[in-house]
Amino acid sequence: MVHRYERFSSSVSGINRCIQKIEGDVMEKFGLRGSYAQYLAVLRRYEQGLTVSQLSDMCMKDKAAVSRAVAEMESKDLIYRQAEGDNFYRAAIQLTDNGKKIAEYVAERATSAVEVAGRGLTESEREAFYKALDLISSNLRDICKKGLPE
């Protein structure tokens, strides 16, 4: 059982480290942080915008870290906040034209990375992998919310 844990945690950590490296390499071209890649990719799918809280949940990142990234991306003209009145707290974050261009590039590079990473998998293996990965992710989130059962 411990061997399975070590294999699982080592594989997940290795994948995460590689993703961060790839994001950093992609975003370096624009003089931006690698962590922006995921935020831009998610915002690209939601033209109506997302709040910091929604973006945090979707990216599974700390809300304070997302808030700092949003402030920096706003200062770099990648996003803007669509506030209702004077309230920017729950403002929808949307991509600027510049942000859309970079997000499109990020999406293209991410698609390439996922295709290369999945080389050698059949379509049925890929479907089974993502189904299992989604289930494991969901179960781990439940453990994080409710605690590990005794």
DSSP string across 46-106: -TT-B-HHHHHHHHT--HHHHHHHHHHHHHTTSEEEEEETTEEEEEEEEE-HHHHHHHHHH
Cα of 145 vs its chain's centroid, Å: 20
Per-residue model confidence (pLDDT) at position 88: 65
Cβ neighbours, 10 Å, residue 138: 10
Which pair of structure tokens corresponds to residue 64?
A: 């304070």
DSSP-derived letter for residue 2 is H
Which residue is listed with tokens 């399975």? 4
Q: Over its length of 150 residues, how does the chain's per-residue pLDDT go in tens digits? A: 668 999 999 999 999 999 999 999 999 999 999 999 999 999 999 989 999 999 999 998 999 999 999 999 999 999 998 777 666 667 899 999 999 999 999 999 999 999 999 999 999 999 999 999 999 999 998 999 999 988
Per-residue model confidence (pLDDT) at position 150: 84
Amino acid at 76: K
Per-residue model confidence (pLDDT) at position 89: 67
